[in-house]
Amino acid sequence: MTILSRSTSVFVCWRLNTQLTSLLVDSSPQSGTTRHSSTRRRTVPLALRIELYSRAEALRHMGLTYSEIVEALKTEYRVAPSKGQLSEWLRRIHGPFGSASRFLAEPTPELAYVIGVTLGDGSLNRKGYNRRIRLQSVDLDFVLEFDRCLSKVLGTGRHTPWFDSKRREIHIEASSVLLHGFLIRRWDVLKPWIEHRSSCVSMFLRGFFDSEGSVQEDGHVTCSNSDFALLRFVQYLLSTYFRVETTGPHLQTRAGTKISNRGHVYTRKLDVYYIYIRTRSLFDFSHAVGFSIRRKRLRLRSRVQKGAGP
C-alpha cells in the first residue's frame, strides 16, 4: 500500500504546469520602450498563479503593503497581479484558480477508474484554454460509469452525454485544467494513486478492462494495448493483489496493419499486444475486477457459472 498525504496531493495538484484563464498583469516597460498602457492581460500558468498567491500571502504576513508586494512579485517572478486583484486574493474575495475545477489529487477508487479508462479508450485534449477529459463508446453503461467517477473526482454534477450519429457513439466530456494536467503524465508516475489500496487497484483494472478488455463468445477474457510495459504492470496488479493468473503479453497486431472498425479503416502505428486471463482465474477476476459494461459482464458471468470457477 502506498500512502499519500493530503499535503502531497495538494502540492501535486498545484504544481501542474498547465494554463487557464488570463491574469491581469501589471507590467513595467523595459528600458528604451514606450508604455502604451498601465496594464495588459497575459496568459499565466495556473501553477504560477497559485505560487504568486502563496508568496503574496507570505509577504503580507511580513507587513508589506499591497504596492510593495506587487513590486516584490515583479522582481522575483517578472509578473504580478494588479493591486486590485491582489486585494481580492488577500481578502479571500477571489482566488488564483479562476474557473478551474478544484481537483485535489487524493487517491480514491473513482480517480483510479478514471486513470484506467484514460489509459485505454479515454482521451485528453485541449481547445483554446479548455483542457478536456473525454470518452466515446458504443456502451452507454460504460459512459455513465466513467461520468459518475469523473464527476465525483471533480466534485461537480453529472455531465450530459450526447450521441454522435455519424460514428454511432456516445460521448461524454468534462473540462478541468488540474485533472487534465494530472492525467497527461506518464502512467508509471501515477502508480501511487493506482496502488494506494486494493479498492483503487480493483477500480483501475476495471476501468482499463472496460476500455481494452474483450470477452469472447466462449467467455474467455483478453486485454490489448500497444504499451507492452503497461500490460506487464496490469499483469503484476492482477497477480499480486487478486491472484489472477495471465499469459502474455502476446503480439496481436503488427504496426502497419490495416484495421477496420465499424466501417472505418485505419493503419496501426504501433505493435499491439494482448494478455489472456487463464480460465481457472476467471472466477477471481470476475469478483475482484469485473466489468461495468453489462454485455461483457453477463458473458463473463455465464462462463464462470459453467465451471470456470475454483
Output the pLDDT for position 290: 95
State the DSSP H helix or E strand holding residue 134, giving kind and residue range, or none if neither: strand 130-137
Contact 68, 37 (CB under 8 A): no
Average pLDDT on 187-211 reads 97
**Which amino acid does the sequence have at 179?**
L
Q: What integer pLDDT is reported at residue 129 of this predicted model?
A: 61
Question: Each residue of 251-268: pLDDT tens digit?
Answer: 999 998 888 776 778 888
Distance of CA 18 to the CA centre of its chain: 13
Phi, psi of 194 (to 5 degrees): -70, -40
174, 160 Cβ separation under 8 angstroms: no
pLDDT in tens, 207-221: 999 999 999 988 899
Has residue 15 got a pLDDT over 50? no
Buried b (16+ CB within 10 A) or exposed e, 86-99: beebbeeeeebbee
How many CB atoms neighbour CB 129 within 10 A? 15
Q: Give the DSSP letter of residue 146.
A: H
Looking at residue 16, what is its pLDDT?
40
Percent of the chain with pLDDT over 90: 55
Given this model, what pLDDT does residue 284 score? 96
Per-residue model confidence (pLDDT) at position 46: 65
148 Cβ neighbours under 8 A, 6+ residues apart: 110, 158
Residue 289 has pLDDT above 70, yes or no: yes
pLDDT tens digits, residue range 37-53? Answer: 444 455 666 667 777 88
Pairing of strands 246-253, 272-277: antiparallel
pLDDT tens by residue, 166-181? 888 999 999 888 889 8
Domains of the chain: 16-26+41-90 (1.10.10), 109-308 (3.10.28.10)
pLDDT of residue 104: 76
Residue 34: what pLDDT? 44
Q: At residue 275, what are phi and psi to the nearest 5 degrees?
A: -115, 155
Write the DSSP assignment of 173-209 as a string of letters: EEE-HHHHHHHTS-GGGGHHHHTSSHHHHHHHHHHHH
272 is written with which cell numbers?
499491439
Average pLDDT, the chain: 83
Q: How confident is the model at residue 151 (pLDDT cuts 50, 70, 90)?
A: very high
Above 70 in pLDDT, residue 91? yes
Whether the CB-CB separation of 225 and 120 falls below 8 Å is answered with yes
State phi, psi for 205 to the nearest 5 degrees: -65, -40
Q: CA 9, CA 293: separation in Å to the nearest integer?
A: 31
Tell me the average pLDDT across 54-77: 90
Rounded distance between C-alpha atoms, residue 117 and residue 211, angstroms: 6
CA angle 161, 259, 266 (to 5 degrees): 70
